[in-house]
Amino acid sequence: MMLEMNTRRALQSHIATPRFETPFHPRIATLSETNDWYAWAGYKAPHSVFDEELEYFAIRSTAALFDISPMVKYRIAGPDAERYLNRLTVRNVAKLGTGRVHYTAWCDDHGHVLDDGTLFRLSADTFRLCCQERHLPWLLDSAIGFDVEIEEETMQIAGLALQGPTSFAVLSKAGFDGIERLKPFQLAEFAHQSGAVTISRTGFTGDLGYELFVSAEAALSLWDRLWTAGQLHGIRAIGYAALNRARIEAGFIVANADFMTAETTLRADRARMPDEIGLDWLVDTEKVNFNGRKAILEARRNQTLKHVLVGLEIEGNIPADGAIVYHRKSREAGLVSAAIWSPLAKRNIAIASLTRPYGTRLTEDLWVEIYALRELQYQKMMKRARIVPRPFIKLDRRAATPPGLF
């Protein structure tokens, strides 16, 4: 359906700002000392705000405010919404209660992961799907035969992640009464101005934290409300660099960084099944119908899965991002897609994709080759790598209910 002429004309001006600003941009721009921006899905987003290392410590010690508005958001509503989402995604949506959130993934017919994301059940028949890539044609085509409406609402809904030990204290102080009852992966609506804000106890840091969704118009007042309440609780605005460190510690994967989404791959062998990127636990094989089911079960039965995603602990302290993983220092076994020195675990950690049987049958004698460019000279190191479980860190404060007032 083609949009009406006046609507189209009004949108012509997009070209004047090829990098859109999120609803929170005025506040972040004021706070930004580094002026360090990058493009996230067409939005201007901070890579850092004042100091990426100190920003990381805001996540782990006080409270960090991170703008997630560029996340792609779809609203899925209608009598068949649950049935539709059960067909679309690999996890069982019938088990997702109203007011709950779960992490999930969806696949094409070949069982290749199209994306991962979080699914919010706002009411019995209303959901919000948040993800990295855009999928409207896929979502619409999948809806044929279902009584369901799908709307892309990325621009209309602003999102904030408030993460860190004092995040609960900040929200309490800001007057979100009842926030203390929110358990991990639970969401609730709270009054904000004349409208509402949806707050879920979710996040991408493995720490105590929340995500807040509000209409774009109410974004700045929400920011101010949190900022004012957070003054005595060490609230800081952060950029992606700091968040990325926290998410690696938490063992979370990022689409098109740790795996390639099926619709963006040019090379046929780059797509991955859930079992190949550590998402096998999401797949509910008891569900009779979901897209990719047959292919996934067949691959499991015939043992044709080719890859496996693992957490690595690497000796030493030099981050190994982009490094090749070897078996017995000689045979190529895979690739490191994310790596940091973890301040919380005091370990050199990494997320890696290995070619089976490395990482499944052959788990010993793994090495990574690190090329460290130091003053225009590569220092080449072969370091021992050990497969360890993810997450690399586990924080009791993440799940405690009511959360601690730090």
Nearer to another protein, 64 or 150 (CB): 150
Nearer to another protein, 154 or 202 (CB): 154
Which tokens go with 89?
Answer: 């995604």
Q: How far is the CB of 405 from another protein (least distance, A)?
A: 42
Sheet holding 187-192: strands in order across? 187-192, 195-200, 209-215, 157-163, 63-67, 235-237
Task: Please select the residue that binds another protein; options are 26, 53, 94, 136, rule is CB under 8 A.
Answer: 136
Q: How far is the CB of 272 from another protein (least distance, A)?
A: 14
Q: Would you count residue 12 as binding another protein (CB under 8 A)?
A: yes
Q: Would you count residue 21 as binding another protein (CB under 8 A)?
A: no
Q: What angle do CA 188, 189, 190 make, to 5 degrees?
A: 120
Q: How far is the CB of 340 from another protein (least distance, A)?
A: 28
Task: Name, in order, each residue with C-beta under 8 angstroms of 44's C-beta and a sequence gap of 6 or more.
Answer: 19, 20, 21, 22, 25, 37
Task: Please select the residue that binds another protein; options are 100, 110, 300, 397, rule is CB under 8 A.
Answer: 110
Task: Name, in order, each residue with C-beta under 8 angstroms of 193's C-beta and a sequence gap of 6 or more.
Answer: 218, 221
Q: Would you count residue 14 as binding another protein (CB under 8 A)?
A: yes
Looking at residues 262 to 291 of the shown chain, list those that interact with another protein (rule: CB under 8 A): 263-266, 268
Nearer to another protein, 266 or 373 (CB): 266
Q: x/- site string to another protein, residues 304 to 343, per CB under 8 A? A: ----------------------------------------
Contact 384, 337 (CB under 8 A): no
Q: x/- site string to another protein, residues 27 to 66, per CB under 8 A? A: ------------x-xx------------------------
Q: How far is the CB of 23 from another protein (least distance, A)?
A: 17
Which tokens go with 226?
Answer: 């949190």
Binding-site size, another protein (CB under 8 A):
31
Q: Would you count residue 77 as binding another protein (CB under 8 A)?
A: no
Burial of 388 (0-12, 13-18, 19+ CB in 10 A): middle
What are the angstrom distances between the C-alpha of 74 and each of 117, 205, 371? 11, 23, 41
Cα separation of 296 and 213, whole Å?
Answer: 34
Task: Please select the residue that binds another protein; options are 1, 144, 373, 376, rule is CB under 8 A.
Answer: 1
User: 52-61 and 240-250 helices cross at what angle (nearest 10)?
Assistant: 50
Task: Name, in order, each residue with C-beta under 8 angstroms of 27's C-beta and a sequence gap of 6 or more.
Answer: 220, 223, 224, 227, 237
Looking at residues 146 to 175 of the shown chain, list those that interact with another protein (rule: CB under 8 A): 152
- What is the DSSP secondary structure assignment for residue 403, as one 8-state letter? P
For binding to another protein (CB under 8 A), which residues are involved? Answer: 1-3, 5, 7-9, 11-16, 18-20, 39, 41-42, 110, 134-137, 140, 152, 263-266, 268
